[in-house]
Structures are given as C-alpha cells and as structure tokens.
Structure 1
Amino acid sequence: MQSPPTRVRILDAAHELMLTIGLARATTKEIAKAAGCSEAALYKHFASKEDLFVTVLKERLPKLGPLVEGLAAEPGERSVESNLTEIARQAALFYAESFPIAASLYADPQLKRRHDEALRELGAGPHKPIEWVDGYLRAERSAGRIREDADTYAAASLLLGACAQRAFAYDMTPSGEPPQTREEFARGVARALLRGIG
C-alpha cells in the first residue's frame, strides 16, 4: 500500500500532536519526525508553524467557514432557525476540537504574541468566525428574514461565544460532559438567539 503524500502525512501528524501535546509543544521538528519526513520537507509545504496550524484548522477540523459563507451566499434556502442551528452545531464541534490545540498558547505569553502576529499576517484568527456569521446574518437582514434593526455583530458574537464556552466549561464537572447533547444545545441556542433578532 502506498504511503499518503508528504503534505497529508504532515497535516495528520500536526493535527495529532497539536491535540495531544498542544500547539506550543508541537514543534516543526517533532511534527516532521512524526510525519516521517525532514523538517526541510515540512517547510516545502508550509511557510511556518502558524501556516500549518491554520491549515490544520481549515482541513482537519469541522468546516465552519465554508458552511457560513455558503449560507450567506444563499439566504432563504432553509429557515433562519435551521441555519443558525447548523452553525451552532458546527461551531460547538469546531471549538471543542480546536481548544485543546490552541490552549497551550496561553501558558506562554511571548509565544502567543508571536503566534497572533503570524496569524494576522496570514489574515486568520479567532475573529474570523464572528465575521463569517455576521456576514451571514447581514445577508438574512437584507433578505428581510430577521429584524431590520438586528445587531448582527452582537448576535454573531453571542452565538459563537456560547459555542466556545461550551467547549471548555464542563471539563471540570464530575461527568466532564455538558448537560445537553450538541444537537439539543445547537437547537436551543438558535431558538434563543432568533427570539432576539427574528
């Protein structure tokens, strides 16, 4: 059986290491070693560790950006509640899977500062999902499917803030699990948000 292409092996190794030991400790040297290639080969495919991190988010985690951008391009295909439920479902999953990767950055302020600067240069960062959902909600507002005076940025922030909070709020509880399934949570958040902007 043929081995996967180098880029795929690097992404798989990076995803696994970032999940298990955190972004701060997952060096390009360790990632290359786990992928069975040289560090030079890694840099042929990715300009930096931050570039690799962004690619892992885009290609190995739930696809939040394309989902929301697709909804913004085609408002009216499904109900706003259905769309918000799907956004909440995917965002909850995205944050649950991305938090363990990025959490270690907060232990090293200098590393986090460098990482943030690199993400800015790449046009990426944790603000992007808010911009995507805001864009979707503005499209729905223009289509007359939510209130004309709806604060779409605040609504996007509330929706994604709830999803992000769910990702780490229950780790220390006895069960380690949220009280609702992801589906129940997504439906409830969508309905609650829609009461304010619908």
Structure 2
Amino acid sequence: MSPRGVAIPDLRERLFDAAERIVAREGAAALTSRAVTSEAGCAKGVLHTHFGGVDAFVAALVLDRFARTAAHAQGLPARAGQGTVAANLTGVALGLLDSLDPRVVGLAVTSNATSRQIRDALAEGSPGFGAIQDALTDYLDAELRLGRLPDGTDTATTALALVGTVHHLLMTGGWAGAPDPRAQTERLVALLVTQ
C-alpha cells in the first residue's frame, strides 16, 4: 500500500489495470472504488480524489482505451504498402475489440452519468470511433492509390462498415452464446477488401 501523500507513478494506468483485472476475475458488479484502490495497492480515497467517483473513473477508462486504439489506427496510413491490407485492418479492428472488456462497456452504457461523460468528451474531440474511422479511411485511400484495393473502392464506407461493426461487436460481445467477435471481424475484413 502506498503511503498517504506520496505520489504514485502512473497512477491512472495502475487504477485502470486494477479495474480491468477485477472485472475479468469477478465481473462488473465487483467494480467499486474500494475494490479498485485495494487491487491497485492505493489509499482508499485516491480514486475519488483523482476522478470524483466511479462513474467518472469508468468514463476515463473507456476514453483512455479508445484513445489508445485511435493512436494505433492513426499510424496505419504510414504503413500503406506494407503487409496485407486485410492484416492491417484486422489488427486495428481486433485492437478495438480487445481495448475493453465488454462488461466494462456494459457499465459505461448502463450508467447515465458515465455515458454522458463519454459522449461529452467525444463531442469535445477526445479520440474515439470517429478518429479510428478517419484513420482507416486515410489508410484505405493510401492503399487505393498504391493499387492494393480494387478501383472504385468506397474507402469511407468501407471504414464506416468496419468501425460500425466492431462497435456493435464490442457492445454485444459479453452476451452469453454470442459468436466469436474475432472470427466475425476477420470475415468482414476479408469481404470488405475483396469487393
């Protein structure tokens, strides 16, 4: 346990990682401020001090994971011509699927305060699905110019279809009996880049 008043390096990431471990191990219902700080080895009040409460904490976690995926996607246009188009798109799509446990997403959408904070942050420019879609469109445009996609490929619609589908799979991936979202994503990418 870190002593009170002592700065904790990488506190946000430490708390986010702790929350993800709790959800993976015990489910979303176990995600409380006390559980997170205990798992992270921090003082009990640190989550409230830094985030103002669990709703804001979950919103920050979701936004952080979306921003990571957006940063990965934004590097994709520079890799045009490398690897295969399908492998590059699949990498970003699976990264988005893996960015959050579907049960964390469930927490975010079932809490009005959390979902409002996420919507507000995205509206103010925090990177999310729109940034990922824009990066994929830029990447597909670059691949089209290189002749690695069929002439006439609608790159913007292709990016929208991929991001929209992955968003849907991320939102519904925690349902019992749901098909494997990875396999579905790979099939979609194969379909999109061969049309």
TM range (shorter): 0.5 to 0.7
- Equivalent residue in structure 1 for 2:117, among 114, 118, 122: 114
Q: Using the TM superposition, give the Cα deviation of residue 133 of structure 1 relative to its aligned residue in structure 2, in angstroms.
A: 1.6
Distance in structure 1 (CA, Å) of the matches to 2:32 and 2:93: 32
Does the C-alpha gap of structure 1 residues 68 and 30 become closer, same or farther in structure 2, counting only changes over 3 Å? same
Q: Using the TM superposition, give the Cα deviation of residue 155 of structure 1 relative to its aligned residue in structure 2, in angstroms.
A: 0.6
Farther-moved stretch of structure 1 (156-165 vs 70-79): 156-165
Other structure's SS at 1:127 match? helix
Q: Using the TM superposition, give the Cα deviation of residue 89 of structure 1 relative to its aligned residue in structure 2, in angstroms.
A: 3.5
Supply the AA of the counterpart residue of 1:132: A
Q: Using the TM superposition, give the Cα deviation of residue 193 of structure 1 relative to its aligned residue in structure 2, in angstroms.
A: 0.4
Farther-moved stretch of structure 1 (67-76 vs 26-35): 26-35
Aligned to 1:93: 98
Aligned to 1:39: 45
The percent identity for this pair of structures is: 21
- Equivalent residue in structure 1 for 2:21, among 16, 19, 24: 16
- State how many pairs are aligned: 181
Aligned to 2:5: none
Supply the AA of the counterpart residue of 2:20: H
Structure 2 unaligned residues grouped into runs of 5+: 3-7
2:193 matches 1:189: no
- Asked if 2 retains the 8 angstrom alpha-carbon contact of 1:71 and 1:83, the reply is yes
Supply the AA of the counterpart residue of 1:189: L
Instruction: Give TM-score, length-normalised by structure 2.
Output: 0.67
Supply the AA of the counterpart residue of 1:65: A
Residue pairs, 1:48-87, within 5 angstroms: 49=57, 50-55=59-64, 57=65, 64-87=69-92
C-alpha offsets along residues 60-101 of structure 1, whole Å, 9 cap, x if unaligned?
Answer: xxx63344333211200122233233334334434xx34321
C-alpha offsets along residues 175-194 of structure 1, whole Å, 9 cap, x if unaligned?
Answer: x252x683x44442222101
Distance in structure 1 (CA, Å) of the matches to 2:70 and 2:28: 26
Structure 1 unaligned residues grouped into runs of 5+: none
- Equivalent residue in structure 2 for 1:156, among 148, 159, 163: 159
Instruction: Give TM-score, length-normalised by structure 1.
Output: 0.67
Farther-moved stretch of structure 1 (134-143 vs 116-125): 116-125
Q: Using the TM superposition, give the Cα deviation of residue 6 of structure 1 relative to its aligned residue in structure 2, in angstroms.
A: 5.8
Other structure's SS at 1:146 match? coil
Does the C-alpha gap of structure 1 residues 17 and 132 become closer, same or farther in structure 2, counting only changes over 3 Å? farther
Does the C-alpha gap of structure 1 residues 38 and 73 become closer, same or farther in structure 2, counting only changes over 3 Å? same
- Of structures 1 and 2, the one with the larger relative CO (CA 8 A, separation 6+) is 1
Q: Using the TM superposition, give the Cα deviation of residue 161 of structure 1 relative to its aligned residue in structure 2, in angstroms.
A: 2.7
Does the C-alpha gap of structure 1 residues 52 and 39 become closer, same or farther in structure 2, counting only changes over 3 Å? farther
Q: Using the TM superposition, give the Cα deviation of residue 139 of structure 1 relative to its aligned residue in structure 2, in angstroms.
A: 2.1
Q: Using the TM superposition, give the Cα deviation of residue 18 of structure 1 relative to its aligned residue in structure 2, in angstroms.
A: 5.8
- Asked if 2 retains the 8 angstrom alpha-carbon contact of 1:51 and 1:122, the reply is no
C-alpha offsets along residues 124-181 of structure 1, whole Å, 9 cap, x if unaligned?
Answer: 3333322222222122223332245322221112122333334426824xxx252x68
